[in-house]
Amino acid sequence: MRYKLLGGSGLRVSEISLGAMTFGEEWGWGSSREECRKMFDAYAEAGGNFIDTANRYTEGTSEKIVGELVRSDRGRFVVATKYTLYTRKGDPNASGNHRKNMVQSLEASLTRLGMEYVDLYWLHAWDFTTHEEEVMRALDDLVRQGKVLYIGVSDTPAWIVSRANTIAGLRGWTPLVALQIEYSLIQRTVEREFLPMAKALDLALTAWAPLGGGALTGKYLRKEGAGGRLKPENQRLSERNREIARAVVDVAGEAGCTPAQVALAWLRAQGDQIIPIVGARTAEQLRDSLGSVSVSLTGDQLKRLDTVSRIDPGFPHDFLSSPPIREIVFGGTYDMIDRHR
């Protein structure tokens, strides 16, 4: 496995992140400690060093297992965890983006992890009730205290991320270095605003659900073909997404690899700063996904996958890229200008 610089930082992280949301069985569908150890060993043996967890995953068990797994070689691994989601129902200050919840969540996470610091601390989801200034100053304080090394933001509107990092830059506070969002062949709406923003702000982009909740592995197509029942209310199983999954399966047959490897290879081809977060329930599933680093899709295969999954860019992108508007904006010189942006 190769390594990437995490956004504008000098931190080196592996090109695939190990998602630990399945670490623990409290939610009824995760993995046992024994299986988690097997997955961790497979990931480490492949050169992986970037582990993603959160304070709410499996009611805190995920952090405990991650801490146990990295303890013997803590310095080698880049451990990321998150705050925002509730830790006690009914307590208005036991959730949200504000300083009080941030501080008490981090202290609880450090205890479960058995660590003095975390390498990357994520805001998990925007709550629309806390000012960006409070969030960025509080995160900066945690960095200055040595309890957090780098900070990132997940599941937050692009305009808020941009504003928060601009405020941090103007005031000399610690900047965000990474963005975490859902991104896959069946979820490409993030290409409208998030990807251009990440490139402009030098943010690493870690992609959750890169296999579309399993839809891109082709397993639901197999169930469909076998007469199995699909849940129509699941948006990931729409007819459009099944069409995309069929294209992934076809390309996998041509490339001599698995559909999961094709889906991950397509995602990794979308930009140097994109890092898939790969979760699994078994070591076998994880090894299959890790095999994607050896898969290179042809230009034709990438084009076919792009075509079947393409989205409408929406306003103002489609408006600004239309020939009449380009004509009046550039005065007929658009095709004469070499652009590096």
Secondary structure (H, E, C), 85-153: CCCCCCCCCCCCCCHHHHHHHHHHHHHHHCCCCEEEEEECCCCCCCCHHHHHHHHHHHHHCCCEEEEEE
Cα 277 to Cα 264: distance, rounded to the nearest angstrom: 10
Residue 183 bears catalytic tag: no
Active site residue: 57, 83, 121, 150, which one? Answer: 57
Q: CA nearest 83: which of 63, 64, 41, 55?
A: 55
Helix or strand (DSSP H, E) at 300: helix 299-309
Cα 80 to Cα 152: distance, rounded to the nearest angstrom: 9
Q: CA nearest 50: which of 18, 86, 7, 94?
A: 18
Q: Do 147 and 139 form a contact (C-beta atoms < 8 A)?
A: no
**Angle between the N-to-C axes of helices 132-144 and 99-113, in degrees from 0 to 180, rounded to the nearest 10:** 40
- Where residue 78 falls (left for φ over 0; alpha for ψ -120 to 50; beta otherwise) is beta
- Name residue 129's amino acid: T
| Nearest 10 degrees: Cα torsion 310, 313, 318, 323 | -40
CA 11 to chain centre: 17
CB atoms near residue 209 (< 10 Å): 20
Active site members = 57
